[in-house]
Amino acid sequence: MTTTADIHEPKFMAGDEFSIPTFRLLTQDGTLHEGAEAPELDRDKARHIYHAMVATRVLDERMMAAQRQGRLSFYMQCTGEEAAVVGATAALDDADMIMAQYREQGALVYRGFTFDEFMNQLFGNELDYGKGRQMPIHYGSRKLHYMTISSPLGTQIPQATGYAYGQKLAGDGLCTTVFFGEGAASEGDFHAALNMAAVHKVPVIFFCRNNGYAISTPSIEQFAADGVAPRAFGYRMHVIRVDGNDVLAVYQATQQARRLAVEQNQPVLIEAMTYRLAAHSSSDDPSGYRSKKEEEAWREKDPILRLQRWLIARDWWSDDEEKALQESLRREVLETMKRAEKRPPPPLDSMITDVYADVTPALQRQLDALKSHIRQYPEAYPKGARSLDPDVTRRDDNADKGES
């Protein structure tokens, strides 16, 4: 219980007595701000971070193009936010749990999720870990400690508190990092999660990507406060605001947050100030709600270019390496996409497995009815649809649509 001083005249407070500063290390030209010191980061790790950021950008650009060509039903880009996501992931232990929202593919890339694995999920083929049951971008990897994405906003935030509580009880020295947008932070789940984490002192890092928009709604129309960070005070939680386009600052802030979480069981809120450079998703067109001028101003703050300049200045990267990396990533995206497109979908029976230990009679009846319907009207179902034989996947003769 906190004791407070008494006052004898009414005095209202609005929390606007101070504003939360932004932690920054790197300028846009790749030099350090005056008085700033780079975190300890060796050449290999710095290059790994850079590689993951570039790979995420290339994957996103190609897959958005593939969506426009009709090869893919849906896509979401991380573009502009690579430093926030990859920088945070690089500061974690690889065995720490990550619970993401949907725009954090950079974390998977950093941890070694292969382009084949991305493509299998995007095309929902027989090798997709989710067996084609989810829309594209709902990745998950047990091996890489990355919880499968679920679409309803905010659900992963209290789940992260619960998971981290389990980690504390297990005493394995690991923590959970949960990513979410500033829009999702308006969900009740966010508040429940922070309160529970602070009360029970669990090792969880709440990582808010404040990218300026929740689809078409600018953050200025989402909350009256100074961003999301001040909410931590309401829960007596540690908080830091960081320049989300500055990978060195994100890395150092997350590294220290992790120490607080794991060594002192202090949950931490990080608010990374960044910008969603692309559309919300392949179904969105931002020209209806923001100006090109605004986008251009943020393009100037490109997080990838900022890190690239820092690396080049230290002789840790070169123009030739850049060219070779871009070419090999583009080639790899195209090759893996073609491979995944050709693979058949999982058999129809997998629609009703994995939920109950044994398939329930009601589900079995529904599947049998569906199969007899498909047999009756085969012309209504596309070639390459899921096979009716539980053990057989069906080849799609039209799958090879070639390279673009």
Ligand X SMILES: Cc1ncc(C[n+]2csc(CCOP(=O)(O)OP(=O)(O)O)c2C)c(N)n1
Spatial separation of the C-alpha atoms in residues 334 and 328, rounded to whole Å? 10
Q: Does 276 bind ligand X (CB under 6 A)?
A: yes
| 156: contact with ligand X by CB under 6 A | no
Number of residues that bind ligand X (CB under 6 A): 16
Query: If binding means CB under 5 A, how many residues of this protein chain bind Mg ion?
Result: 5
Q: Where are the alpha helices (DSSP H) in 300-360?
A: 303-313, 319-342
280 binds, among Mg ion, ligand X, none (CB under 5 to 8 A by kind): ligand X
Burial class (CB in 10 A: 0-12, 13-18, 19+), 280: buried
Q: Which residue of 80, 87, 124, 181 would you call a contact of Mg ion, by CB under 5 A?
A: 181
Any contact of residue 211 with Mg ion (CB under 5 A)? Answer: yes
Among 32, 65, 215, 374, contact with ligand X (rule: CB under 6 A): 215
Q: Is 247 in the site for ligand X (CB under 6 A)?
A: no
126 binds ligand X (CB under 6 A): no
For position 227 contacting Mg ion by CB under 5 A, the verdict is: no
| Cα–Cα distance, 148 to 97 (Å, whole number) | 11
Query: Please, are residues 249 and 240 in contact by the beta-carbon 8 Å criterion?
Result: no
d(CA 144, CA 107): 10
Is residue 281 a contact point for Mg ion (CB under 5 A)?
no
Query: Considering only CA atoms, which of 12, 244, 4, 282 is closest in space to residue 136?
Result: 282
Question: Per CB under 5 A, which of residues 25..64 are in contact with Mg ion?
Answer: none
- Return the number of the residue (70 or 152) whose C-beta is nearest ligand X: 152
Instruction: Give the span between the Cα atoms of 253 and 259, in whole angstroms.
Output: 10
The answer to whether 336 contacts ligand X (rule: CB under 6 A) is no
Taking CB under 5 A as the binding criterion, the range among 8-16, 38-46, 146-154, 205-213 that sits at the site for Mg ion is 205-213
Question: With binding defined as CB under 5 A, does residue 183 bind Mg ion?
Answer: yes
Q: Is the dihedral of CA 191, 207, 261, 158 positive or negative?
A: positive
* Residues that bind Mg ion in the complex, under the rule CB under 5 A: 181-183, 211, 214
